[in-house]
Structure 1
Amino acid sequence: MRQAALRAGSRSEKMQRLIDIVQEAEENERKVLVFSYFRDVLDAVAAHLPGKVFGPLTGAVPAATRQDMVDEFSRASHGAALVSQIVAGGVGLNIQAASVVVICEPQLKPTTEWQAIGRSHRMGQLESVQVHRLLSEVGVDQRLVEILARKNELFAEFARVSATADSAPEAFDITDAELAREIVAAERERLLSGG
């Protein structure tokens, strides 16, 4: 459900918005880093984006090749886009050449997004970093955002004051299975109620 919108290609409002973001980045002499959890989404994005597209950078790409891809992207002219799986490009790479970050779908763990955004926020970044999250107004994206917001409120109320939260914020992430159950239940309720 989380990948359906972008896999629809040029018929997708999310894809159209992503193309607009890349075109705006080129006009503003910026480069774009596009993250998705899903390989099929990355393939669709790479096929539809204008200009020079690097990747997809995935977990299957060897570490040395990943760095070569990042280096090539860094040397490219403005308007270039690097598409990456969020779990592959979100850890261990510094991509200061990108000053626009796009997250194609909400992630199940907020720390996954934070790490990915951090790739372009490293020392050496000379520009402000713009972060865009592509969200659908109906369906699973909205439900996921609502559930994560509720979890974040609970986290803020109870865990932020603890010493453990200060030392390991990821320790309070909810499990993927728990979140998936809540999302499916919310979607069922929405669909059965005709909303």
Structure 2
Amino acid sequence: MSIAHLLDDFGSQPAQSAPSQAMAEEEVETLRLQSYEEGYKAGWEDAIKSQRDQSAHISDEFARNLQDLSFTYHEAHSQVMQAMTPLIQDIIDVVVPETVKETIGLRVVEQLSEMARRNGAHRVEIIVAPEDADKIRVLLDQDFGFPIEAMSDETLAEGQVFLRMAQEERQIDMEAVMSGIRQAVAGILQETERKMMHG
């Protein structure tokens, strides 16, 4: 006797009606589209997040490189200035004073020309320190168009000159010029040293 009637038959599928099968296909398609859209949206969000993270990383790296570069520049500038300070000091102490001394005659000519334009051709007195007398006498060989008398005064320091024409008197003080140059350079060197110490 057969016992087939007692056991369930898994081999055959139950027949479905056409409308429920069509409905199932629509639901499957809808689920497929929803899954596709969710996956697309998730992928898009991941790409945007990844790009944001990469941009932030690049910005941070760029800022760090700029900071390193700035530090390197200031460090190099400080070291160059530190190395050059003795040379600059020698130039200020040796070369510039000689140059200033040599240009005293040009400064006198410049002042004489300006005074002559303002006052006309009047007699001029040039009073100089004994050390500068020869430099000024060389200038007197040229014709200025008005009489010039040069005299030395031992109370004047080297580099000091007085010019008198009509009612006008002017003083040239090359030591004051030198002092201004020294102060300007000292200020630059002090500022550089301050930046080296405090950043």
User: TM-score interval w.r.t. the shorter chain?
Assistant: 0.3 to 0.5
Compare CA radii of gyration and give the structure with the larger one: 2
TM-score (norm 2): 0.32
Higher share in helix:
2
TM-score (norm 1): 0.32
